[in-house]
Amino acid sequence: MELMSNDRPKNWRPGRMTTDPARLVALDVLEQVRHGAYANIALPQTLRKAGISGRGRGFATNLTYGTLRMQGKWDAIIARCVAGRDFEDIDPLVLDILRLGAHQLLDMKVPLHAAMNETVNMARNEAGSGASGFVNAVMHRISERTPDDWDDLLAEELEGDGQKAVLGALTSHPTWIIDRLEDSLVASGRPAADLGDVLAANNDPALVALAPRDISSEEIAAQASEWRMPNRPGDIVAGAVVLERGNPGRLPAVRDHGAGVQDEGSQLVALIAAYAPLKGSDKAWLDLCAGPGGKAASLAREAMPRGAQLFANEQHGHRLDLVAQAVEPYEDIVVLREGDGRELGELEPNRFDRVLVDVPCSGLGSLRRRPEARWMKRDEDAENMSRVQLELLTAAIASARPGGIIVYSTCSPDLRETREIVEKATGVEVLDAVEIARSVAVPGSLDTVQGPYLQLWPDEHDTDGMFAAVFRKLDAIDAINASDAEATSDEMEHEEQPVESDETADHLPQPGEKAEAAEELAISGEEPDPVADEAADEGPGAANAGSEESDRAEEEGAGEASEAPAVGDLGDERSGPVA
């Protein structure tokens, strides 16, 4: 019989087990987020550094994003299990360990003994023996109740604070976000009673949607199936391909820019901009805030067969590089410009037939993709963005020709960023965005939406909370008449904006060129772009664990998260947990 070796790992101590690498990755990412990092950037980097793949990668993804998303609920439970200690006095590292443990106990199918042992062992190794005793005691108290028991206890104890306090604790949302979502629901014609459904949908991992670029949807679906990624057509956009599992970064079509990761709501906005009814010339299109390029690529795909040219403007150079990658299949018809979009109203007045202005925003419509965002954002963020949003819309209107189409969109349902902005627009006629959307969407998919503005919801449409308004620019006489009529009815007061001459200087470069603006004005509130993650070089038939929307890819326009120029090598949040 062969004797066991007496060799011990370096730094081995009697009675000490090593920490599970997947759980250690999750703890590392939580600590990075606590110090200001973004989970969609930190997680793929940490996974690569740890060399974790397969089920371990899927487990780490589930644990990291799930814990961040449900942090508020776990904190409420932990606070009731600390035996007289003030919650605020818990060491941040120990609190992160407890959050991870609570998520495994109450939200993942991790066996009780595994969740307990691994969490206490992590505390001992990472925070010290004293901390492990405290963690052990708290974990035992958490385990004494089932998830339903905890829900009942929180609801009972918070009942006196009102229904929103209960909703906030059970669905892990700050109260101010609940207030803003309720206001938007009611303004959109939905009952306030639907609020719970919206909050629950924010906690469901979003499926990955792919948009065709220079290959067909059928080719994308066939390729995904070959790589063992179950897929189906889009629910709202017929040309979309929705992956039910799998990492899109491994698909050659995505790696070669033949397809792009893009939420169906984002794809729909681009189609609205491309197909809103227009009289006269239809050859010059503008994407005013083009980074990181998903909507620009969708627009270019529609513009090419119609002989139109797309001008893509982006303020920041690194984001413009992402636009260039996204529109690569259409580079012959796309003009890139680096500069503040607010300048184009003066530089290029009355030039464009179609203008899309997808403004930077608070990103409240993409909470399911950015799990930590609900804890990092503040109520005043939307107020701080509103001035920039209105200035961008004003520039978009000025740059459109009389009779031209302007589409304002944002990935936030917050009324301060949607209706309160578009209702200040002057010199335009409001078109019914919902009717236009129905003309290009899957039949029946938007039957419950009320116009004239389009507001999508994650619970009803399984998309981000995209908002879109469509305008037609009036000519000088119509603008004056409209202004006089408004003043007479005393419904609102707007200053008339004169329409510039049709003779414009050619301030934009020609296709293939990239012009730099005279100066770069910072737009506050913009979140960083996703970092491109290296896709694993595996062939068809390899085991593929998917990403949660391609490492939480950020949607075009600051603060949004529905598409990605590149995707990350993460685990699928729908992967089963490992003990």
**Cα–Cα distances in Å, from 349 out to 176, 472, 510?**
40, 15, 18
Three-class secondary structure of residue 547 per DSSP: coil
DSSP state, residue 144 = T
Residues classed as catalytic = 411
Q: Sheet containing 259-262: which strands, arranged edge to edge? A: 231-233, 241-243, 208-212, 259-262, 563-564
Residues in the chain: 579
Three-class secondary structure of residue 412 per DSSP: coil
Q: Are 356 and 271 within 8 A, CB to CB?
A: no
Secondary element (H or E) of residue 24? helix 21-34
- The two three-digit tokens of residue 329, written as one number: 């299949």
- Closest by alpha carbon to 153, among 171, 170, 135? 170
- The two three-digit tokens of residue 342, written as one number: 């607010």
Q: Are 364 and 177 within 8 A, CB to CB?
A: yes
DSSP state, residue 365 = G
Q: E strands within 6-103? A: none
Q: Are 239 and 217 within 8 A, CB to CB?
A: yes
387 CB neighbour count, 10 Å cutoff: 11
Burial of 187 (0-12, 13-18, 19+ CB in 10 A): middle
